[in-house]
């Protein structure tokens, strides 16, 4: 058993078979074979070895013709490894005696050899680990043939283990079959992490190199609460986590009765709880949890993983589904926040050294006016069907806000001339995500109907921490006093101007921060749908004076660790045992 530590980004516990995603993206279809199938499986393995041998020989000759004998010798080394008698016999023994499938046996044996080579001090020998991995992929490719299964075509439950998953790859995961995922890279505030929360599957990122420690088909546990990943757990550990899965299920059932009651504090103050969504189907998750509306409808998914750009009707249909499902409840649609880690396939820029400081979000929208206008037309059209609000992301200057509003006004004129119905009084808001927006917040307020604090980017830009960089992940912390003071400034300004304000980043979805946010003056929170019952439970267990005292103490502290300690202690004191359903 191995226990590894990463960064928790989506809560819950998942137990299951590993699907190790290398550059080839192989799925090992099964771990064991029936006793009477062993001879046939051994024959299949021998055929794969022969096919791999022939491929290597062809590659060797092609390289010899183009580059000479020196480079062709690389394939001689591969051939020698492939035909190594000890390696061959170990695979055969696993198939014959343990009834492992050839795919699983090949992966187990070759990954163990690769790990041994990697541990050698001799750098030349250590590099041979890559050669062994190449042989593993070659054998698997020949074993699996047409049965090779891609991540988007799964038919049975797995836990996905990968070096990295792009936001579009994560968005393509089917939660019916992908019960959780782990990546070697990534940070707490990455868009991949956000999508994991939207899919409501446990996820851990920033693990560092570990994929060679595990083979496809291995039993793995993902603890999305603590950021732990356990490879090949022993019986005691497995039983412990199986009890944890059952406890989580029981807690969810006990909190289900909160769906139809309001998030009202113990002293009678009504708190609005909205849902953050990424995909149209998530509107049902919001309804199932009793959300007061959709506080943040991210629209990037329409652009991710596609070669072309979505047209106006594609936008309209995606928004209509959510707006109609929500009825009279508000739906805040954020215009596209592309760039940085959220890049459409056709927009990739290789020359951006600092993409989080580059052409992204509202900056990209104002550079691509036709694209921006297409989305605005669809949002305005759908505003005729329900309670729709529009929100601009990553506004850093008053001029940017005015430019965005001018484009919106221009689109409104076009729709009026075409006699297309829309809400002429549609509320317009902006995300507060950069320190400059907070420092100038009093200048923004007269131009807006509402504001929403996006803590994921606010933390990143305030602390100068790349939220996707594992090396500085420990510095990315929403509990940092600098972040708290900026949120406090934004809330105080909204109060002076009598404008609605909420928090919609990952911070608002954590029960640890609920008392703090209420104490700072927030009366509206937008959270991932799965978090609504627990956030509601906290709200109903505390009073506003109690929360104000916690916030006042937090604002006097000088580091994130002390703030977290305070918040955890106060939450533990305030929160009762879950009520019986």
Catalytic residues: 191, 504
> How many helices (H) and strands (E) are present in the chain, helices listed first?
22, 17
Distance CA 215, CA 217 (A): 6
Structure tokens, 96: 């014959």
Closest by CA position to 117, among listed 130, 104, 106, 107: 130
- How far does the chain reach from its first CA to its final CA, in angstroms? 38
Cα four-point dihedral sign 156, 157, 159, 163: positive
Distance CA 534, CA 258 (A): 9
- DSSP sequence for 218-273: -EEEEETTTTEEEES--HHHHHHHHHHHHHHHHHHHHHGGGGGS-EE-TTS-EEEE
Closest by CA position to 311, among listed 250, 237, 381, 263: 381
Closest by CA position to 319, among listed 388, 368, 369, 365: 388
Distance CA 462, CA 472 (A): 14
User: Which residues neighbour 169 within 8 Å (Cβ) at sequence distance 6 or greater?
Assistant: 151, 305
């Amino acid at each position: 058993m191995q226990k590894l530590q990463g960064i928790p980004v989506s809560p819950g516990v998942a137990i299951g078979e590993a699907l190790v995603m290398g550059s080839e993206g192989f799925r090992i279809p099964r771990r064991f074979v029936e006793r009477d199938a062993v001879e046939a499986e051994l024959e299949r393995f021998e055929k794969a070895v022969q096919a791999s041998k022939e491929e290597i020989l062809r590659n060797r000759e092609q390289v010899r013709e183009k580059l000479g004998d020196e480079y062709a010798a690389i394939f001689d080394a591969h051939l020698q490894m492939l035909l190594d008698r000890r390696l061959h016999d170990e695979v055969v023994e696993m198939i014959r005696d343990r009834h492992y499938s050839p795919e699983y046996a090949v992966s187990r044996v070759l990954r163990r050899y690769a790990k041994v080579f990697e541990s050698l001090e001799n750098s030349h020998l250590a590099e041979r680990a890559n050669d062994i991995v190449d042989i593993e992929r070659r054998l698997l490719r020949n074993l699996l043939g047409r049965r090779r299964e891609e991540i988007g075509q799964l038919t049975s439950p797995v836990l996905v283990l990968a070096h990295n998953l792009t936001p579009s790859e994560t968005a393509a995961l089917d939660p019916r079959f992908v019960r959780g995922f782990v990546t070697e890279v990534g940070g707490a505030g990455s868009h991949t992490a956000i999508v994991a929360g939207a899919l409501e599957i446990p996820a851990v990122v920033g693990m560092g190199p570990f994929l060679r420690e595990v083979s496809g088909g291995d039993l793995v546990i993902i603890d999305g609460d603590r950021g732990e990943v356990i490879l090949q757990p022993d019986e005691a550990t497995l039983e412990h986590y199986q009890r944890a899965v059952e406890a989580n299920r029981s807690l969810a059932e006990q909190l289900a009765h909160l769906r139809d009651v309001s998030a009202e504090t113990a002293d009678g103050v009504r708190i609005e709880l909205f849902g953050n969504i990424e995909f149209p189907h998530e509107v049902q998750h919001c309804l199932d949890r009793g959300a007061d509306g959709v506080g943040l409808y991210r629209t990037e998914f329409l652009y991710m993983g596609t070669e072309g750009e979505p047209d106006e009707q594609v936008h309209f249909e995606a928004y209509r589904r959510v707006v109609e499902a929500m009825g009279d409840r508000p739906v805040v649609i954020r215009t596209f926040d592309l760039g940085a880690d959220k890049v459409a396939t056709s927009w990739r820029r290789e020359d951006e050294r600092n993409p989080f400081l580059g052409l992204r979000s509202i900056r990209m929208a104002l550079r691509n006016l036709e694209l921006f206008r297409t989305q605005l037309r669809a949002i305005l059209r759908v505003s005729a069907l329900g309670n729709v609000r529009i929100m601009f992301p990553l506004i850093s200057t008053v001029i940017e806000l005015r430019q965005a509003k001018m484009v919106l006004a221009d689109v409104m004129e076009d729709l009026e001339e075409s006699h297309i119905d829309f809400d002429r009084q549609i509320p317009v808001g902006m995300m507060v995500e950069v320190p400059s927006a907070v420092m100038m917040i009093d200048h923004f307020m007269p131009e807006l109907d509402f504001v929403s604090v996006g803590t994921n980017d606010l933390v990143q830009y305030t602390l100068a921490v790349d939220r996707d960089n594992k090396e500085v992940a420990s510095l990315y912390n929403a509990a940092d006093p600098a972040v708290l003071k900026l949120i406090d400034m934004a809330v105080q300004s909204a109060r002076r101007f009598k404008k609605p304000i909420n928090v919609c980043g990952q911070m608002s979805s954590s029960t640890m921060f609920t008392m703090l946010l209420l104490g700072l003056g927030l009366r509206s929170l937008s959270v991932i749908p799965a978090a609504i019952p627990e956030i509601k439970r906290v709200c109903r267990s505390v009073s506003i004076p109690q929360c104000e005292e916690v916030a006042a103490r937090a604002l006097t502290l000088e580091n994130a660790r002390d703030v977290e300690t305070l918040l955890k202690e106060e939450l533990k004191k305030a929160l009762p045992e879950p009520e019986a359903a």
